[in-house]
Structure 1
Amino acid sequence: MKKIILGIILLFNFSLVAQNPILDIHTADFANIENAYYKDIDNFYNQFVGTWIYTDSVKIIRFKFVKKEMFYRQSIKSCYVDYLVGEMQYVENGVEKINSLINLNINHSEIYNYNLYSYGKTNKDWYPKCLECPDTIERLPMSYNEPTNDDAGLEAAFVMHRADENGVEKIKIQYIETIGAYGIKPDGSPSITTNFTIPYGDYILIKEN
């Protein structure tokens, strides 16, 4: 009887695996199989998890990233996905202009409700190109938005990679405008935002925690 029960359990588990295959998010044909789990198998996202800070005489930029595992993505072919998501704090001349860090404490049902979320692994030639990077570099492009943005068209490229130096944990972020503001909100009414608040540029951030 015990053997029969064990056999049923094994068959059930095999059935679940067949229905929910685990695929590498960085190499598989993304979102092509219903109910598949697109997993960060080699833990590529883990190296970016934490809080990173940039400071100069005028501004403080802080990004915090967390890994969301097995996030349910509703689409034509719904599936489960590992994402890196992030939020930001921006201070200029002592005045805090953005602070969305608390948004990471919310378990949103839609990934775009986070201001930053991962697109997957890429190389040095992804725009904006990393001209000084070795051919073997692995970079992470992110969808970027700001909580103060109300424009339907404004977009920026945001790509990062590890740039450790002398034992100090660092990331390099390349951040550049790709599409200017449309002047309208998603509902068609006039927008106020003309550009993102955090200035565009290349930034080296040090790991804070």
Structure 2
Amino acid sequence: MKNIFVAILAVFTTACSSQVINLKDWRGDVINGAYYKDIDNELDQFVGTYQLISNNGNDEMIIVFNKIENFSLPNTYAEDLLVGEIKFKKNGILYFNNLNKINENYTNKYLHDICGNSLIANQTRPVCDICNPNQFRARLTFFGRNNNCGGYVILQKFNDGQEKIKVSFFMNCGTFEENRESFIPGGDYILTKQ
């Protein structure tokens, strides 16, 4: 009986300890059954609501980010994710507002407009000149829904007396047969935490 208990304990300990991989160490290789965990809570720095208002209120961008822990699709791997939804208005025209979707309990979390978990160090391109040493940025996919082309975003947290993030949009509109344009022009946007 003692040998059975020791064997079960050994299998359980090995299975649990060998499966967790720190997101900072993940380079994209997938191990079925692994858990790619945000062990150091690097994604937490981006959680919240951020807003940019300009052009006398005619231009507005609001992005809300939530962290999802231990998300997995069947027969794959588990991962911690940052998900986001966006509201975008330009010249008084509301192009989309998906903020109400942030609390949707999607079976597939990649149905959110912004989603991902890639952590990039400050010396990784694009280089971050104002990042603190050992500060990580996040690289997430921006899905081009509602006839808008997508791409990816890089998030960089900073504080100049107020908590802010720099959101850099990199659009990839060239993959569509029809010439779609991005509602959100590619480039850097500075949003203030609300």
Could you say which TM-score interval applies, normalised by the shorter chain? Answer: 0.7 to 0.9
More strand per residue: 1 or 2? 2
**Shift, 1:204, TM fit:** 0.7
**Shift, 1:146, TM fit:** 3.5
- The code of the aligned residue for 2:130 comes to C
Find the counterpart in structure 1 of residue 14 from structure 2.
18
Identify the match of residue 165 of structure 1 among 160, 165, 169.
160
Count of residue pairs brought into register by the alignment: 188
Find the counterpart in structure 1 of residue 59 from structure 2.
59
1:142-196 deviation digits (Å, cap 9, x = unpaired): 101243136xxx4423111112112x10001111324425225xxxxxxxx7122
Contact kept in structure 1, 2:131 and 2:158, CA below 8 Å: no
1:75-103 deviation digits (Å, cap 9, x = unpaired): 6xx11100001110112333322111222
**Shift, 1:111, TM fit:** 3.4
Q: 1:161 to 1:81 in 2, by over 3 A?
A: same
Classify the secondary structure of the residue corresponding to 2:102.
helix
Find the counterpart in structure 2 of residue 201 from structure 1.
187
**Shift, 1:26, TM fit:** 1.7
Find the counterpart in structure 1 of residue 103 from structure 2.
105
Normalising to structure 1: TM-score of the pair? 0.76
**Shift, 1:121, TM fit:** 0.8
Distance (whole Å) between structure 2 residues aligned to residue 14 and residue 54 of structure 1? 53
- The code of the aligned residue for 1:162 comes to K
Contact kept in structure 2, 1:117 and 1:144, CA below 8 Å: yes
- The code of the aligned residue for 2:158 comes to A
- The code of the aligned residue for 2:67 comes to K
**Shift, 1:30, TM fit:** 4.5
Q: Which runs of 5+ in 1 are unaligned?
A: 185-192
Find the counterpart in structure 2 of residue 84 from structure 1.
82
Normalising to structure 2: TM-score of the pair? 0.82
Classify the secondary structure of the residue corresponding to 1:140.
strand
- The code of the aligned residue for 1:158 comes to V
- The code of the aligned residue for 1:105 comes to N
Q: 1:133 to 1:111 in 2, by over 3 A?
A: same
Classify the secondary structure of the residue corresponding to 1:122.
strand
Contact kept in structure 1, 2:173 and 2:181, CA below 8 Å: no
Q: Percent identity?
A: 24
Distance (whole Å) between structure 2 residues aligned to residue 68 and residue 12 of structure 1? 31
Distance (whole Å) between structure 2 residues aligned to residue 101 and residue 157 of structure 1? 18
Confirm or deny that 1:72 pairs with 2:72: yes
CA RMSD of aligned residues (A): 2.7
Deviates more, 1:62-71 or 1:91-100: 91-100
Q: 1:92 to 1:32 in 2, by over 3 A?
A: closer
Distance (whole Å) between structure 1 residues aligned to residue 103 and residue 12 of structure 2? 31
